[in-house]
Chains A and B, each alone.
Chain A
Amino acid sequence: MKKVGYILLYVCLTAVAVFQVFPILWLFLFSLKNNQEIFSKSPFSLPSEFRWENYLKVWESGIGSYFWNSVWITGVAIVFTVLLASMAAFAITRMQWRWNKLVLGLFMVGLMIPIHSSIIPLFNMFLNVNMIDNPWSIVITYTAYNLPITLMILLGFYYTLPREIEEAAIMDGCSVHRIFFKIIFPMTIPVISTTVIINMIYNWNEFVFVNTFISSDEYKTLTVGIQNFIGQYMTDWGAIGATLIISMLPILLAFLFFSNKVVEGISSSAVKG
């Protein structure tokens, strides 16, 4: 009886796993087929031959350029976010000043606000300083909007670092900058890697800011790029499949190699309401 129960539980859990993975597998399968195969054969059938040329075709007709835009914008914004959030975490947890709790509170509030409430004024601000259709508007926006969550994740770690570290360093005549850059910052590398992963997922997948601020094809990132692209290739399922798989691949690879960090990051991002 007990054994039957266990088997039943496993069946349930496996069914959920199949539901979670199956659509992606199906997508991968049809990304390697041509329309004729997709429309006439069973959706579960393997491709008669693996048509990798679907990938080559979409890469060369624009997806490649969207991809590199996503890479550099994601990367530069991560560097800014992590550096500025680390400095802020250092000032909030390690230095003594009066408005410390109030500023921390503001960052907390920043976690809750819906970005759609600020997007029209933000659009107008960038328009006024001639930064609409400029990728740096995206980098700045990503940095600002990811600062609160990054700071939250860092704070927990900063609070656990013993005060004796700075005390000893100051006795030895170390400056604050040396304490931060040479001692504290390197010690936080484990938690920084978590924030990098979380920022990477957010930035890579972000859609509405790019869709609103960028109009030239040459600056678009993948999320918005695939939108346009699929509009053009409406009927070519193989091309659409290949495009979507390309857009998912970097995050899926990161997950494959750093799944524990991703799990850690996503759990700690749960504070984001």
Chain B
Amino acid sequence: MNRVMSNKWIIGMYILPAFLLISIFIFVPLLLSGYYGLMDWDGIGAMKYIGMENYFNAIRDGLFWSSAFHSFMLALFSTVSLIVYLAISLILASKIKGSNLLRKIYLIPMLLSSVAIAQLWIKVFNPSNGILNSILASFGVDNPPAWLAEPNVVLYAIFIPILWQYAGFYILIYYAALKNIPESIVEAARIDGATPFQIAYKIKLPLIMGVVKVTIVLAVVGSLKYFDLIYVMTGGGPNGASEVMASYMYKLAFSSNDFGYGSAIGFLLLIITLIVTFIVRKVTASKEELQY
């Protein structure tokens, strides 16, 4: 048994194809990104080593910081909206008829591509024929904002489709966690006279805290990486008001042909994501869960 199942050649045959693929196409490019960041390079001609200049430039680059700020705003919005998802899940998991169907309906937007979602919401936000302004008009709102064209509004406007897209996902996760709570615990609390609100807040919530923490990490890291929807909906505009880190990097490389600087920003995006993941996990971890 042991001899057959520890044959090095056979192990290599089974693990190497997958291992080489992730090494060559995921890990090598990540390292190269840090390396290209040290170069002055237009993507076509020869690279010229310029040391840490791109990284120093990034630190002084107001556009980079504003894009990072927008990414962090999205991360904040996403984290706060988890409360709403949690409230919906608590209702949904409390012996509601049709909860199975409802959570599937909630999930539908999550299945669509960000490009299709972006195109659909461009239409929803359309100032003259979009459904949003039609609805607002029927409520008597005369001067709705020009959603995606207004620098002060655009980031909030973009968050609505993000909310729409991910609601079902988080509700699904919370619902599953809530359904895992043994009925006897809830029943015992009820017999002791706890109100539904107390049961939700004092008993159910602490019991699914582990899952809540995981979703906080998912929401924060997911937001820092956000790209497709914004790239299609606004291209970072108007005037950079909805630029995020990934879209700024993409623009630098593939529109301005500044591959060296773009790589540096890409590498910073990686570092920031890893640091934030680490911090969020540390902050949300309780003592006994620190190994996770």
A-B contact pairs, 10 of them (CB 8 A): A21-B105, A27-B120, A88-B17, A88-B18, A121-B36, A176-B10, A227-B232, A244-B120, A263-B103, A273-B214
Q: Which residues 250-265 of B sit at the A interface, judged by CB distance below 8 A?
A: 250, 253-254, 259, 262-263
> Is the pair B218, A88 in contact by a Cβ cutoff of 8 Å?
no
Q: A176-B10, A247-B116, A263-B107 are in contact. Are A166 and B22 (CB under 8 A)?
A: no
B92 touches A95 (CB 8 A): no
Is the CB of A122 closer than 8 A to any CB of chain B? yes
Kindly list the 7 A-B residue pairs having the minimum CB-CB distance in the complex, ordered from nearest: A205-B113, A118-B29, A121-B32, A144-B25, A91-B14, A121-B29, A117-B270
Contact indicator B267/A117 (Cβ below 8 Å): yes
A230-265 contacts to B (CB < 8 Å): 230, 237, 240-241, 244, 247-248, 251-252, 255, 259, 262-263
Q: Which of A10, A144, A151 contacts B26 (CB 8 A)?
A: A144
Interface SS, A side: helix
A196 → B minimal CB distance (Å): 14
Using known A-B contacts A96-B6, A116-B249, A117-B33, determine if residue A266 contacts B18 with beta carbons closer than 8 Å.
Answer: no
Q: Is A112 an interface residue (CB 8 A)?
A: yes
Is A85 part of the contact surface with B, judged by Cβ < 8 Å? yes
**B66 adjacent to chain A (CB < 8 Å):** no
Contacts of B22 in A (CB 8 A): 106-107, 110, 144, 147-148
Check if A113 sits within 8 Å of B30, measured CB to CB. yes
List of A residues within 8 angstroms of B10 by Cβ:
95, 176-177
Q: What is the bound-complex CA distance between A30 and B259, given in angstroms?
A: 42
Stretch in B144-152, B168-176, B282-290 with 4+ CB within 8 Å of A = B168-176
Say yes or no: is A141 at the interface (Cβ < 8 Å to chain B): yes
- Which residues of the partner chain B approach A255 to less than 8 Å between Cβ atoms? 104, 107-108, 111
A237 near B129 (CB under 8 angstroms)?
Answer: yes
A31 to B224 CA separation, bound complex (whole angstroms):
34
Name the residue on B nearest A174 (C-beta).
B4
Q: A143 — which chain B residues lie within 8 A by C-beta?
A: 21
CB-CB under 8 A from B267, the residues of chain A are 117
Determine the chain A residues whose CB is within 8 A of the CB of B88 once the complex forms: 12-13, 16
B8 within 8 A of A: yes
| Known contacts A107-B22, A116-B227, A267-B173: A87-B108 contact under CB 8 Å | no
Instruction: Decide yes or no whether A51 CB sits under 8 A from chain B.
Output: no
Interface of B is mostly: helix
Q: A13-B91, A263-B104 are in contact. Are A176 and B15 (CB under 8 A)?
A: no
- Distance (whole angstroms) from the CB of B2 to the closest CB of chain A: 6
Q: Which of A38-46, A54-62, A186-194 contacts B (4 or more CB under 8 A)?
A: A38-46
Interface contact B173-A13, CB-CB below 8 Å: no
B2 in contact with A96 (CB, 8 Å): yes
Given the known A-B contacts A144-B24, A262-B107, A266-B107, are A103 and B225 also in contact in the complex, defined by CB atoms under 8 Å? no
B91 nearest in chain A by CB position? A9
Contacts of B11 in A (CB 8 A): 91, 95, 97
**Partner of B5 from A30, A118, A176 at Cβ < 8 Å:** A176
Chain A min CB distance to B170 (Å): 9
Convert A77-116 into 0s and 1s, putting 1 for each residue whose CB lies closer than 8 angstroms to a CB of B.
0000000110110111011110000010011001011111
Contacting pair A112 B107 (CB below 8 A): no
Taking the complex as formed, is B236 at the interface, i.e. its CB lies under 8 A from any CB of chain A?
Answer: no
B129 and A43 contact, CB distance less than 8 A: yes
Interfacial chain B residues near A122, Cβ < 8 Å: 25, 29
B21 touches A226 (CB 8 A): no
CB distance from A211 to the nearest CB of B (A): 8
A270 at the interface (CB under 8 A from B): yes
For residue A148, which residues in chain B have a CB less than 8 angstroms away from its CB? 22
Interface residues of B in 32-52 (CB under 8 A from A): 32-33, 36, 43
Which A residues touch B105, using CB under 8 A? 17, 20-21
A121 to B259, CA, bound (A): 9
Tell which of A17, A27, A272, A273 has the most Cβ of chain B within 10 Å: A273
List the A side residues contacting B114 at CB < 8 Å: 205, 207
Residues of chain B lying within 8 A (CB to CB) of residue A161? none
With contact pairs A201-B111, A226-B119 given, residues A120 and B1 touching in the complex (Cβ less than 8 Å): no
Contacting residue for A266 out of B36, B164, B172, B225, CB 8 A? B172
A43-B134, A247-B116 are known contacts. Are A180 and B14 too (CB-CB below 8 A)?
Answer: yes
Q: Is B53 an interface residue (CB 8 A)?
A: no
- CB of A26 within 8 A of chain B? yes
**Are A273 and B6 neighbours in the complex by a CB distance under 8 Å?**
no
Residues of A within 8 A of B113 (CB): 204-207, 222-223, 247-248
Interface residues of A in 136-164 (CB under 8 A from B): 140-141, 143-145, 147-148, 151
Check if A112 sits within 8 Å of B263, measured CB to CB.
no
User: Which one of B5, B106, B120, B129 contacts A24 once the chains associate, using CB atoms below 8 Å?
Assistant: B120
User: In the bound complex, do residue A17 and residue B102 qualify as a contact, i.e. CB atoms below 8 Å apart?
Assistant: yes
Most-contacted residue by chain A among B25, B124, B245 (CB, 10 A): B25
Q: Is A259 touching B246 in the complex (CB atoms < 8 A)?
A: no
Q: Inside 8 A of A176's CB, which chain B residues have their CB?
A: 4-5, 7, 10
CB-nearest residue of chain B relative to A272?
B218
A150 to B171, CA, bound (A): 22
